[in-house]
Amino acid sequence: MTHNTRLLRQRIGPHVKLMAVVKANGYGHGDGAAAKAARAGGADAFAVASLAEAVGLRRQGLREPILVLGHLSLIDEVHACLRWRLLPTISTLDQARLFHTVASRSGACLPVHVNLDTGMARLGVPWREGVALIQAILHLDGLQVEGVYSHLAAADAVDPSLTQQQQQRFDHVVAALTNRQPARFCRHLANSAAAMADSSLHYDMVRVGLALYGHAPAEHLEGRLALRPAMAVRARVTILKTVPAGTGVSYDHRYHTKRPSRLAVVAIGYADGVPRLLSNHMGVLHRGRWLPQVGSITMDQLMVDATDDPQLHTGAVVTLLGHDGTASISPLQWSQACSTIPWDILCGFSSRLPRLRAARSTRHGGQLTIN
């Protein structure tokens, strides 16, 4: 991750800040470890989705600015922002008034980032109302507009037209504000895809998630940066058995052996985050060789056809995701096999899977290693 963060840092240059997005437990990698690795590579700030995630980072000793991307609207949440020095996202006037009231009662002036909805139809103030909202907040002495941002709906698309439309709307609001109000605030728009694709989208800061974990957000962006996947998922073979041709394997016998076969039971399953939809559509690596997974993936175990790998022995570690010799399996491959996206695969790994540093990476059952 440190390596990937350095690459991004070089790409955006010294005048653009790098906000590392470590929501959803650092995209499944462990948020504290991910944040510290990103910091070592030059990240200036962090973003998370929820208050609990932000407080979790503070408790793990991270002192950099933390932006909460999700919508906070309770009095206790305002107090928590003040207490833990967190940057809330403001999308509505009601929310701004509440934050102002609570902050000014505490004698504080809380820095906030205003989110503009320029085409995502999710969080954020509709962009046509953005100038009015921000002008109103400028009159609330409990709040200080430190940042103005928006989120792109299709920055990873080959066709840039939606991104261009969102950028025009963003520029329109920012220009209207800087005409009337010279005060400087931090403008940010780019996610990983935008940060990799187009420097005109960088503004004062980029908010990068997926790329820091070593994955390009789209096939056409692969190779733009020499990213290295931070995560590998491995598990142990616990039992090997030889079965005759025609043997039904796992629940509902969704696979039958076509020949006398050597089956390996591997101690990882869908409860760890291996999508059950990959049943009969994935494989594992052992010493650089790809072995097909067979039958339904179960909650805690999956079966592999090891007939062609006589060297595979009980206790061997196989690779489900990541590198093994010159071979590798990526979250993109998994996501394509089960009609989802790499983000969904990464943050689907459960807390049962121990997160280990790559250096000491042998363990029983499944494991997720990070470098």
Distance CA 309, CA 306 (A): 5
- Residue 291 β-bridge partners: 284
Site string for ligand PLP, 60-89 (x = CB under 6 A): ---------x--------------------
With respect to ligand PLP, which residue has the nearer C-beta, 185 or 270? 185
With respect to ligand PLP, which residue has the nearer C-beta, 112 or 304? 112
Contact 142, 103 (CB under 8 A): yes
> Residue 176 corresponds to which tokens in the numbers above?
């209207």
Burial 127-157 (b: 16+ CB within 10 A, else e): beebbebbeebeebebbbbbbbbbbbbbbbe
Among 16, 21, 110, 297, binds ligand PLP (CB under 6 A): 21
Residue 191 beta carbon to ligand PLP: minimum distance, rounded to whole angstroms: 4
Residue 195 beta carbon to ligand PLP: minimum distance, rounded to whole angstroms: 7
Q: How far is CA 319 from the centre of its chain?
A: 21
* DSSP E strands, 80-153: 87-90, 110-117, 125-126, 143-150
3-state secondary structure of 14: coil
- Residue 242 β-bridge partners: 262
From the candidates 27, 36, 251, 255, give the one annotated as an active-site residue.
251
* One-letter amino acid for residue 5 of the chain: T
Q: How far is CA 226 from the centre of its chain?
A: 18
With respect to ligand PLP, which residue has the nearer C-beta, 45 or 237? 45
Residue 145 beta carbon to ligand PLP: minimum distance, rounded to whole angstroms: 17
Site string for ligand PLP, 233-272 (x = CB under 6 A): ----------------------------------------
How many binding residues for ligand PLP (CB under 6 A)? Answer: 11
151 touching ligand PLP, by CB under 6 A: yes
Report the sign of the C-alpha dihedral through residues 204, 208, 212, 214, in that order.
negative
Residue 125 beta carbon to ligand PLP: minimum distance, rounded to whole angstroms: 14
Q: Which residue is at the shortest CB distance from ligand PLP?
A: 209
Burial 49-72 (b: 16+ CB within 10 A, else e): ebbebbbbbbeeebebbbbbbebb
From the CB of residue 161, how many other CB atoms can be counted at a distance below 10 Å? 9
- Residue 263 β-bridge partners: 241, 305
Cβ-proximal residues to 305 (8 Å cutoff; 6+ apart), any chain: 257, 261, 262, 263, 264, 291, 292, 293, 294
Distance CA 329, CA 345 (A): 13
Active site residue 23: yes
Residue 151 beta carbon to ligand PLP: minimum distance, rounded to whole angstroms: 4
With respect to ligand PLP, which residue has the nearer C-beta, 319 or 330? 330
150 touching ligand PLP, by CB under 6 A: no
Distance CA 24, CA 347 (A): 6
Site string for ligand PLP, 191-230 (x = CB under 6 A): xx--------------xxxx------x-------------
Distance CA 141, CA 112 (A): 12
Residue 280 beta carbon to ligand PLP: minimum distance, rounded to whole angstroms: 30
Binding to ligand PLP, residues 304-363 (CB under 6 A): none
With respect to ligand PLP, which residue has the nearer C-beta, 118 or 301? 118
Residue 276 beta carbon to ligand PLP: minimum distance, rounded to whole angstroms: 24
Distance CA 123, CA 110 (A): 20
> Residue 263 corresponds to which tokens in the numbers above?
């089956």
From the candidates 23, 27, 149, 203, give the one annotated as an active-site residue.
23
With respect to ligand PLP, which residue has the nearer C-beta, 174 or 346? 346
With respect to ligand PLP, which residue has the nearer C-beta, 196 or 285? 196
Binding site for ligand PLP (CB under 6 A): 21, 23, 69, 151, 191-192, 207-210, 217
Residues involved in catalysis:
23, 251
